[in-house]
Structure 1
Amino acid sequence: MSRIMSPKPPFLFTTLTYVGWSLFWLLLWDIFVTAYYMLVLDPTYSLPSMPVTLMGSALVVLISFRNTSAYNRWWEARTLWGGMTNYSRSYARQVLTLIDDPQDGLNPVKPLLLKRHLAYLKSLSAHLRGEPCPTDIRELIDWQEQARSDQTNNFPNDLLTTSAALLVQEYKEGRLDSIRLARLESTMVELSNCQGGMERIANTPLPFPYVYFPRFFITLFCIIVPIGLVETLHWFTPLVSTVVGYMLLAIETVGTHLQNPFHDSELRIQTETICQNIERNLNSMLRDARDERLAAAGKAGPNELPCLFT
């Protein structure tokens, strides 16, 4: 029923509207040029086509450079989030295996650290988009710490620092030796490196000429194309010219979406989905560790030890 009530837009409609109103104005211009040439202009008047060929060749090179740079930014951001996923699993595994447990159950600092790590990931996702911390992290950290999110310019880094302080406290209390602490710290350094790479991409946009000039030259090319084709194609000029212009506008739009991989666009990296996947992984790992400790302590009941979520 929901599929009937909210049908997915047809592929053709999505394709035609991808570049917005630019396609409509392009079609109007092509029709105007064709009608003016066929109905008003002296038929003996010859229009040159060589500028279209030369400008089109140069434009393809310019767009290729720009879109390659934009895609490299997008792919690097996705690679960094992939690294964040892998290091999160490693961090959870180290927390669950390297920190000593009491005789009668699971060390309560373990679910606490994993909760904090999930809060770190969710706050980082919002931080990269320039948004405030999501409200659902209140279930993961205490309200006093969450209230400080508006008073710092990098709340995810603060969460990571406080988690490191908890590990140091475990070391001081004898539940973690220096070698295991160093191993956990090295994983947190890798998490911080991934965060730094993402912040570099989010805070360093492409140079303005890379963004402005492709759009400007594509617009200029779309204006010139029907003038160079109308003498040969006559009334078919709007069809061919509009298709050529649409192809260039669509490629330019793809580059525009790719250059900001964290901001709202059709091609942005779905960091919320990645965080949900990591959340499921951490829950599964914590439950396995809990069940193992229950079995070792000779206890029964799946809910006697804490988990990430109830």
Structure 2
Amino acid sequence: MIVTAAPSVRHVIREVWKPLTLLFVWDVIVTIVYYVLPFKAPELPLTLFGSAVALFLGFRTNSAYQRWWEGRGLWGLMINASRSLARAARNFLPDPEAVEMKRTIVLRQIAYVNALRCQLRRQSVDAEVKRFLSKGDADFALARTNVANGILDGTGRRIDIARRSGWIDTIQQSRMESVLIDIANAQGGMERLKNTPLPNHFRFFPTIFVHLFCILLPFGLVETLGFATPLGSTMAGLMFLAVLAIGDDLVDPFADSVHDVPLSAMCRTIEIDLLQAIGDPAPTAMVPDKYGVLW
């Protein structure tokens, strides 16, 4: 996620330079042909076309942003639930007999959020799971189709072991299980966002209409702007192409791009909070890179 006050020129150019270059070349061709060949540019209702395109883009961008914000909200719930689970484990499980169980639950939750992050980004989860879990626990989780859910199931089993060992009562077990339910619900919402794209008409038609509008734009401007048509038409097209690119950037909040939810930074936040809750040394928080991007 770009966290600077304004996106850098480098990022903007990288997003739209290809269609913008093609648009500028097309505008130049239309302008040259208009002055070389004796033809009259057709009268086009560009205001009506532009209003319709802007309406389509508005719906699409709002839908894409709602998906992005929902993804960020679900990860906010995940952070809070992870803190609640660590706090319950620290406060409910007695010392010194359950110290190792406390640490196990905390490390499993850290492994869980990192595994979930990798799954949502379509990355390998093996290294992250093995970093926090023992070989036996890691192999058991990695054998599951949904590794993150396998880790969460194992955490629930350990809470049940704590109850059967007499370390917690059924009420405390129920409280911890309710936190696991919140975590599972948040994961389900994230997977829904990841696996359910925007409907085809929200993706296809705005793209077609924007490019068609950009093609027709110089015909409607050449008589008014003359030799300045390439500049004016390209600037007007840039606004539509930029809004179209914004929708493309926000539609998948877990795609591991500079515009997505900063999953790595939030997983690091969870790791810091949970390790400090049990008195273990914690790493430092992640900071934006030199381009102002927080991953």
Q: TM-score, normalised by structure 2?
A: 0.89
Aligned pairs for 1:56-135 within 5 A: 56-102=50-96, 107-135=99-127
The SS at the match of 2:198 is coil
The 2-side partners of 1:49 and 1:187 are apart by 60
The SS at the match of 2:254 is coil
The SS at the match of 1:132 is coil
Alignment match of 2:264 (pick from 261, 264, 272): 272
- 8 Å contact from structure 1 (residues 170, 176) kept in 2: yes
Partner of 1:172: 164
Partner of 1:250: 242
Partner of 1:47: 42
Query: Is the deviation greater in 85-94 or in 133-142?
Result: 133-142
Per-residue deviation, 1:148 = 4.4
Partner of 1:144: 136
Partner of 1:215: 207
Q: Structure 2: which 5+ runs fail to align?
A: 1-6, 284-295
Per-residue deviation, 1:122 = 0.3
The SS at the match of 2:99 is coil
Per-residue deviation, 1:284 = 1.2
The 2-side partners of 1:101 and 1:140 are apart by 22
- 8 Å contact from structure 1 (residues 260, 268) kept in 2: yes
Per-residue deviation, 1:149 = 4.9
Q: Structure 1: which 5+ runs fail to align?
A: 1-9, 288-306
Alignment match of 1:228 (pick from 220, 227, 241): 220
The 2-side partners of 1:78 and 1:33 are apart by 45
Per-residue deviation, 1:38 = 1.7
1:181-210 deviations in whole A, cap 9, x for unaligned? 100000110011110110110010111121
The size of the alignment, in residue pairs, is 277
Query: Is the deviation greater in 74-83 or in 121-130?
Result: 121-130
Larger Rg: 1
Partner of 1:33: 30
Aligned pairs for 1:3-42 within 5 A: 11-42=8-39
1:119-139 deviations in whole A, cap 9, x for unaligned? 000000011122220413313
The 2-side partners of 1:97 and 1:308 are apart by 19
Per-residue deviation, 1:12 = 3.3
The 2-side partners of 1:231 and 1:78 are apart by 48
The 1-side partners of 2:141 and 2:220 are apart by 58
